[in-house]
Structure 1
Amino acid sequence: MAYADRISPVLRAAFELLREAGRPLRPEEVRKEVESRVTIPAELRGPNAHGQARWWAQLGFRTGEAASIGWMTKRNGWAITEAGIRALDDFEGTELYRELVRQYRARRLPPRPHDRPGTTPPPDPIPAAFEQFQQNLQYARQLVDGGRNLERLAVGSFDVTDLYRAAWTQAVAALDHWVTREIVDRALALALNPEARRPPKFSNLSIPVELFERIHHHDEPLGETFGAHLEKHFSFMTFQNPEKIKEGFAYVSTVNLWVKVAEVLTAQDARSPITADGVRTRLREIAWRRNNIAHTADHDPQRPGRKAPITAAEAEATIEWLEAMAIAIQQALGDPLPAMTPDAADELRAAPVTAEAEPATGPRGKRTWDEPSFLQAVEEYCPAGVRDTLLAVYRHAESHPSFHEYYFGEGEYPSVTAWFNLGSDKASVWSIYTGPAKSVLAVNFGSVRNHGASRERMTRLAERLGVLPGSARLRDQLESADYGKYPSLQPDALARPEAREVIITALNEFLTGETPH
């Protein structure tokens, strides 16, 4: 059964419940009622890698996407909008879910360097910015749930309320990270669309001469090169204070941010109108508490030597408010610019040749890395288990009959991509990225999809790799993205004793296009 067939009844039941209620419902109310209305498949009832029921985690993500495109709201509870009711009436069966995915992808996902043909995928390009934000908020919610459970057990060996403080800090960090990525995504979309109207602040961005020369004289792809510059530029900024957030979004939009956000939030729940200064005040209070937790262990100035009190309900309300505000920011800014066609993007470069189009040779100049430097990096940066797995995968490639070539990267740290003949075309099947923080194996589903691999073939590969730690949702994530992603197997998975056999067996099956009996 396809993923859409499994999750669609859950999504539809939630929408029908909200329509019948005619008022905002608390998430737990939705959960209990949906469970009573729908027979949830066993594979969705089980826990995901973070211990949460898969169907509930997925419903959280899908309703976040629905709120982002205006089908529902999440301020002061979940509520369906007129647009959501129309969608419920217009799209039957699995089409409701498919239309949600289509509209969200079309309206909310801006172009990224790895989404365009001819570019090398980054080490871990999934999930998208808003999905990552939701996942980070889910981690915070799990901390709150854990604290509640421990309070019921009357645990006294440590201060259980510290879990609520950790959740608070996690939620603010999630917002900070999302704002950064949202700004970078939108700035990159502006750069890739030369006809788009640019905010004055965007036009005043400083660009090093070296970056200009790399693009203009050395034929480096604009999206990849400028995207890396933007990420570096904005990574040094902190987006927790409302003034800093507005300042950041001014690079990519001329909207009067907090006024528009207040209008959006008020429209979502007219019973609780809020002003721009009300939004800013609430955000400052949340950021102040986060800083007090981080820097003074939540010292209570009114009670020297003691922590400020905090409850599960307060932490939970903060998480919900930050999610609602992020959705309102998206709606206030409007949809990102659409991705350019490859032909239009080529006009922005001095030459159309790229790493993926020409993996072995080309006019881009000498390689930064080669096999000796890559092997030295694996030896230096990788723990023994990770090193053994990565080297086994690396050495397996050139021993396979369909192997075509290695392409060594030009990033800050050594990397290598393996190209194979898939039958009708050549594609980069996997990439290994090394670094002091971690080393990963990226499986390039987006590349093999673009070069002729069948859905059945990609599905089998995702299923085989899904047995590794942290990959339980791999197939679902890939299906929801139409396999246009480049997921990475993380060190914890690579270090497992069985990882080498699992990965190589999966690759052998994929490369031959046959299922072993």
Structure 2
Amino acid sequence: MAVPRPQTRQFEAFMTNLSYARRMVEAGRMLTPFNSPTIDIDDFYRAAWVQAVAAIDHWLHEEVLRRVAELAAKDSPDMPYQLRVYELPLHTVEAVQKGDVTLSDAVVEHLRDKLAAQSLQHPGKISEVLKLVTDRKVWYLSAGWINKTFFQGRTSLNEKTLRSRYLEITQRRNKIAHDADLIDGDLKQRRPIDEASVNDAIDWIERIALAIAHVLDEEG
């Protein structure tokens, strides 16, 4: 059974970016039989891994900004605590008071600048940022939703194991992006990678994004 996806521009962009990763895997699979001496098929898989992590990182940034804009525009006392106490520079506060910019736009632009240099590739950092849009225990609830939706309750997936799985995926991405995926202490030999492991990582990234979106949509 297909799992319903959020009908937002941000999530559609995420799925498009994830499809790029899947196509890289498919390209690697199709080229494997040719056994070319000039092409390292594993590099297609490594590129797909990096692309998949970039897809969820980008989505998390855009999703938080979208939800912050909506919450700030409501100016409700029920908004998450971290957003209620969010601090703006004095010159921005003055611009809001003068009517030069709306409060919602001011908060979003300031947050966009703050997040621009931050990657959301660590579960703790994701939790911290998501506190701006929810007071719920996102990783705990996401684990339960994934377990029920994708595995019909047959797994022991919990908050700790879900965080660990995500961290394993992003750490491998960092090895690829920053260390050329070389085995520690070796300047030539790279870590093994194959189609199955990359597809599994991509599937987990999609599940995690779907779960987080579902938990956020259930807010309130």
2:197 alignment partner AA: E
Aligned to 2:76: 195
Contact 1:184/1:234, CA 8 A, preserved across alignment = no
Match of 2:174 among 283, 291, 295: 291
Q: Does 1:274 pair with 2:157?
A: yes
Deviations 1:312-355 (A, max 9, x none): 11111111110111000111222579xxxxxxxxxxxxxxxxxx
TM-score after normalising by structure 1: 0.40
Deviation of residue 220 (structure 1)? 2.5
The residue aligned with 1:321 is: 204
Kindly provide the amino acid, as one letter, of the partner of residue 116 in structure 2. S
For the residues of structure 2 that align with 1:129 and 1:327, how far apart are their CA atoms? 12
Asked if residue 158 in structure 1 is aligned to residue 39 in structure 2, the reply is yes
Q: Deviations for 1:217-266, whole angstroms, at most 9, x for unmatched residues?
A: 14323443432222112222210011111111012111112111111111
The structure with the greater share of residues assigned to helix is 2
User: 2:216: which partner in 1?
Assistant: 333
Deviations 1:199-228 (A, max 9, x none): 222122220111122222143234434322
The one-letter code of the counterpart of 1:217 is: K
In the aligned structure 2, how far is the partner of 1:67 from the partner of 1:313? 24
8 Å contact from structure 1 (residues 260, 332) kept in 2? yes
1:272 alignment partner, SS class = coil
Secondary structure class of the residue paired with 1:181: helix
Q: Is the 8 A contact 1:261 1:325 kept in 2?
A: yes
Whole-angstrom distance in 1 between the partners of 2:105 and 2:10: 17
Structure 2: any 5+ residue segments left out of the alignment?
none
Question: Which runs of no fewer than 5 residues in structure 1 stay unpaired?
Answer: 1-17, 19-62, 69-103, 110-127, 338-517
SS at match of 2:31: helix
Task: Answer 1 or 2: higher relative contact order, Cα 8 Å, separation at least 6.
Answer: 2
Q: Does residue 134 of structure 2 align to residue 253 of structure 1?
A: yes
Q: How far, CA to CA, are the matches of 1:144 and 1:307 in structure 2?
A: 18
* Amino acid aligned to 2:196: A
Corresponding residue for 1:264?
A: 145
Structure 2 CA distance for aligned equivalents of residues 325 and 165 of structure 1: 20
Matches of 1:224 and 1:187 in 2, distance apart? 10
- Counterpart of 1:211? 92
Question: Residues 59-78 of structure 1: CA distance to partner in whole angstroms, max 9, x if unpaired?
Answer: xxxx66x244xxxxxxxxxx
Query: Which whole-Å CA distance do the structure 2 matches of 1:336 and 1:219 have between them?
Result: 31
| Cα shift readout 1:389-419 (whole Å, capped 9, x = no counterpart) | xxxxxxxxxxxxxxxxxxxxxxxxxxxxxxx
- Structure-2 change in CA distance of 1:304 and 1:231 (3 Å): closer
Contact 2:83 2:132 (C-alpha < 8 Å) held by counterparts: yes
3-state SS of the aligned residue for 1:252?
A: coil
RMSD of the TM alignment (CA)? 2.0
TM-score by length of 2: 0.91
Question: Aligned equivalents of 1:219 and 1:248: distance in 2?
Answer: 27
CA distance in 2, matches of 1:334, 1:218: 31
State which of 120, 123, 126 in structure 2 corresponds to 1:242. Answer: 123
Give the structure with higher Rg (CA): 1
The alpha carbon displacement at 1:162 in A equals 0.5
Instruction: Quote the Cα distance in structure 2 between the aligned partners of 1:179 and 1:203.
Output: 20
Structure with greater proportional strand content: 1
Are residues 1:139 and 2:24 paired? Answer: no
